[in-house]
Amino acid sequence: MGKKRKKKNVIPGFGVSLGITITMLGLVVMIPLCSLVLFSAELSPTEFLKTVTGARVLSSYRVSFETAFFAAVIDAVAGLVIAWVLVRYEFPGREIMNGLIELPFALPTAVAGIALTHLTTANGWVGSIFHRFGIEIAYTRIGITVALVFIGIPFVVRSVQPVLEKVDGQYEEAANILGANPRQTFCRIILPEISPALIAGFTMSFARGLGEYGSVVFIAGNTPFETEIAPLMIMSKLQEFDYSSATAIALVMLFAAFIILFINALIQSRASRIVSGID
Amino acid sequence: MKQKKKCGVHGWILIGLSSAFLIVMLILPLIYVMVTAFREGWHSFSAAVTDKYAVASIKLTLEVTLITVICNTLFGIFASWTITKFRFRGKKIISTLMDLPLTVSPIIAGLIYVLTFGRQSFLYPYVKASGFDIIFAVPGIVLATIFVTFPFISREIVPVLTAQGTDEEEAAALMGAGFPMIFRKVTFPHIKWALLYGIVLCTARAMGEFGAVSVLSGHLKGKTLTMPLYIELLYQGYDFSGAFAVSAILVLMAVIILVIKSILVYKGKEEEL
């Protein structure tokens, strides 16, 4: 099908549009990226290692990874349930619920941050309830996780929802007729179909959570070794004009993000190979 | 639609759980902002948002958002047209680079611009000679916002154009239509809703960007503070009612954006059918 088109582009305007695309891409993405690479090349390896293995930096990585991971797990579960409800059931308020999902995209993170903080302090609307049971949310890692759950929820829902909509009802019916109970049907029929999308959503909310700053700084309390996240470490190095340390910490974070996305890409391509039947 | 079932007991439990989660996580913060903003009455609210610096921050946010949306719309249209309608080498690289800003932490986005235009950069002599401040000034804020929202519009258009294929454009080209004509008469009607949807998402993110902008802003009151940064300043100065008053404006904008978004999605689906 593509053979004929390979020879020549019939559609006009290739030069202009490629030119504009590359120019803007160059200005906005490529030049800054090159300067990051150039600057990193100048860092001395010993200093780099010393910065990224400093106790405070290491603990900030741990806080970031732990909170982002737990938040992504909670998002995956909650997101799956919400997507399921939105696709499978008809109930009053469904349209409103569907429209609400993108709220964390639309609401500025700083606003979400201060609102969540005030809600979850010991005398906040929600925090006071938990406070009675001795659980503090704001200014602890639980607080950071709450903020990251808020940020990540649309990624899972919007990733799973379209796939769930396309799941063919025939297979479920067949499973039913063959005597499967609802749990078996879900685990054997539906989950395998939607798991690539669920993993993609999980990955995106995990990766986003690792880098999130705006909503977290307010709720975190930013105590060193306790609730200090990696992006905040970069920020404080920048405020001291210590660009080499900031860059070193940032490179490790970038590397981690790329590994996560790469693993996801592997899973996705394997899944699409299985679906298309090409080995 | 074929699968929509009446919900049984299980269904209602799941609906209840989802609603409870969304109400606590998403709606409660909105209500809290609104209640706190107006707790001390309309007067203190209007005093907070008509403050000289508040007005300056609102203006700056609108300016930055407008420039960002224009730039990214232009880029989004041309980039998605290029990578869906033509075959050429390096297409994969372009689409990877386009989506890169999505995976980069906003703080790191700010950092790479500091490294690009800051004192230690190889570009610094040229920047200085031009007498044009970029970092810790408005141009830096604009650049950071453009970076963070760079792929928002192209990501919405590309799937639509890919699904549509190139046959219609080829036919138009063979009948002698030029690029502007093909775009306006053939391509644009297909991508109209996706484009608007992308613009809405881009607007939302641009007006709310905090991390990247925070790195590149000099935090000068009335000069380089966007609304989210101004909220941070008020909040850190323990002026909570002021912070929530300015936040209320952003909440209102977010709700408007959500409504417009829902309308666009609905219209787009309607046209498909």
Query: Mean pLDDT in runs of 10 for chain A (279 residues)?
Result: 53 88 92 89 89 92 96 96 92 90 92 94 91 91 95 94 87 86 86 91 93 92 89 92 91 91 87 67
Angle of helix B91-103 versus helix B152-164 axis, rounded to 10: 140
Q: Which of A194, A192, A214 is nearest to A79 (CA)?
A: A194
Residues B250-262: what's their mean pLDDT?
Answer: 93
Domain housing A254: 48-274
Least Cα separation, residue A56 to chain B (angstroms): 18
Q: Does B13 touch chain A (CB under 8 A)?
A: no
Q: Give domain status of residue A258, yes or no.
A: yes
Q: Could you say which of A2, A16, A35 has the minimum Cβ distance to residue B179?
A: A16
- Identify all chain B residues contacting A33, using CB atoms and an 8 Å cutoff: 100, 112
CB spacing of B14 vs A84 below 8 angstroms: yes
- Identify all chain B residues contacting A234, using CB atoms and an 8 Å cutoff: 105, 107-108, 111
Q: Give domain status of residue A4, yes or no.
A: no
Residue-wise pLDDT tens digits, B72-96 = 999 999 999 998 888 888 888 888 8
**pLDDT range class, residue B6, cuts 50, 70, 90:** low
Least Cα separation, residue A105 to chain B (angstroms): 7
- Identify all chain B residues contacting A18, using CB atoms and an 8 Å cutoff: 82, 86, 88
Which superfamily, per CATH, for B42-272?
MetI-like (1.10.3720.10)
The predicted pLDDT at position A153 comes to: 95
CB spacing of B74 vs A89 below 8 angstroms: no
CB spacing of A234 vs B108 below 8 angstroms: yes
CB spacing of A35 vs B123 below 8 angstroms: yes
CB spacing of B166 vs A119 below 8 angstroms: no
Least Cα separation, residue B132 to chain A (angstroms): 16
Q: Does B44 touch chain A (CB under 8 A)?
A: no
A241 by Cβ neighbours in 10 Å (0-12 / 13-18 / 19+) ranks as exposed
Percent of chain B residues past pLDDT 70, beyond the cut: 97
What mean pLDDT value characterizes chain B? 89
Report the residue of chain A nearest B245, measured CA to CA: A111
Half-sphere CA count of A244, side-chain side, radius 13 A? 11
CA-CA distance, B151 to A28, in Å (whole number)? 11
- Identify all chain B residues contacting A127, using CB atoms and an 8 Å cutoff: none
Residue-wise pLDDT tens digits, B25-57 = 999 999 999 999 998 889 889 999 999 999 999
Residue-wise pLDDT tens digits, B131-184 = 788 888 899 999 999 999 999 999 889 988 988 888 888 899 889 888 888 888
3-state secondary structure chain A: CCHHHHHCCCCCCHHHHHHHHHHHHHHHHHHHHHHHHHHHHHCCHHHHHHHHCCHHHHHHHHHHHHHHHHHHHHHHHHHHHHHHHHHHECCCCHHHHHHHCCHHHHCCHHHHHHHHHHHHCCCCCCHHHHHHCCCCCCCCHHHHHHHHHHHHHHHHHHHHHHHHHHCCHHHHHHHHHCCCCHHHHHHHHHHHHHHHHHHHHHHHHHHHHHHCCHHHHHHHCCCCCCCCCHHHHHHHHHHCCCHHHHHHHHHHHHHHHHHHHHHHHHHHHHHHHHHHCCC
CB spacing of A110 vs B210 below 8 angstroms: yes
Q: Which of A17, A20, A11 is nearest to B165 (CA)?
A: A11
CB spacing of A110 vs B208 below 8 angstroms: yes
The predicted pLDDT at position B79 comes to: 93
Least Cα separation, residue B147 to chain A (angstroms): 6
- Identify all chain A residues contacting B103, using CB atoms and an 8 Å cutoff: 207, 257-258, 261
Give ∠ CA B137-B140-B144 in degrees, rounded to 5: 145
3-state secondary structure chain B: CCCCECCCHHHHHHHHHHHHHHHHHHHHHHHHHHHHHHCCHHHHHHHHHCCHHHHHHHHHHHHHHHHHHHHHHHHHHHHHHHHHHCCCCCHHHHHHHHHHHHHCCHHHHHHHHHHHHCCCCCCHHHHHHHCCCCCCCHHHHHHHHHHHCCCHHHHHHHHHHHHHCCHHHHHHHHCCCCHHHHHHHHHHHHHHHHHHHHHHHHHHHHHHCCHHHHHHCCCCCCCCCCHHHHHHHHHHCCCHHHHHHHHHHHHHHHHHHHHHHHHHHHHHHHHHC
Find out whether A32 and B100 touch, Cβ atoms under 8 Å: no
- Rg (C-alpha) for chain B, rounded Å, is 22
Find out whether B29 and B255 touch, Cβ atoms under 8 Å: no
Residues B255-266: what's their mean pLDDT?
Answer: 91
Interface subset of B 179-198, CB within 8 angstroms of A: 179, 182-183
- pLDDT score of B5 more than 70: no
Residue-wise pLDDT tens digits, B172-221 = 988 988 888 888 898 999 899 999 999 999 999 999 999 999 999 888 88
Q: Does B20 touch chain A (CB under 8 A)?
A: no
- Identify all chain A residues contacting B17, using CB atoms and an 8 Å cutoff: 81
Least Cα separation, residue B258 to chain A (angstroms): 7
- Identify all chain B residues contacting A14, using CB atoms and an 8 Å cutoff: 82, 86, 88
Picking from A34, A103, A116, A165 by the largest number of B CB atoms within 10 A of its own CB, the best residue to mutate is A103
The predicted pLDDT at position A114 comes to: 95
Q: Which of A269, A272, A14 is nearest to B83 (CA)?
A: A14
Q: What CATH number corresponds to the domain at position A88?
A: 1.10.3720.10
**Domain parsing of chain B, residue ranges:** 8-38, 42-272
CB spacing of B29 vs A247 below 8 angstroms: no
CB spacing of B173 vs A10 below 8 angstroms: yes
Q: Give domain status of residue A249, yes or no.
A: yes
CB spacing of A25 vs B79 below 8 angstroms: yes
Q: Does B7 touch chain A (CB under 8 A)?
A: yes
- pLDDT score of B21 more than 60: yes
Number of domains forming the structure of chain A: 1
- Identify all chain B residues contacting A97, using CB atoms and an 8 Å cutoff: 18-19, 22
What token pair was written down for A123? 């005398």
Least Cα separation, residue A247 to chain B (angstroms): 8
Sign of the CA dihedral A155, A157, A160, A161? negative
What token pair was written down for B135? 């970092």
The predicted pLDDT at position B52 comes to: 93
Residue-wise pLDDT tens digits, B107-130 = 999 999 999 988 877 778 888 888
Report the residue of chain A nearest B136, measured CA to CA: A239
The predicted pLDDT at position A278 comes to: 52
- Identify all chain B residues contacting A95, using CB atoms and an 8 Å cutoff: 262
Task: State the residue for tokens 């004192």.
Answer: B119
What token pair was written down for A125? 């609307």
Q: Give domain status of residue A127, yes or no.
A: yes
Least Cα separation, residue A104 to chain B (angstroms): 8
Q: Could you say which of B10, B183, B208 has the minimum Cβ distance to residue A109?
A: B208
Find out whether A193 and A163 touch, Cβ atoms under 8 Å: yes
Q: Give domain status of residue A145, yes or no.
A: yes
Find out whether B257 and B92 touch, Cβ atoms under 8 Å: no
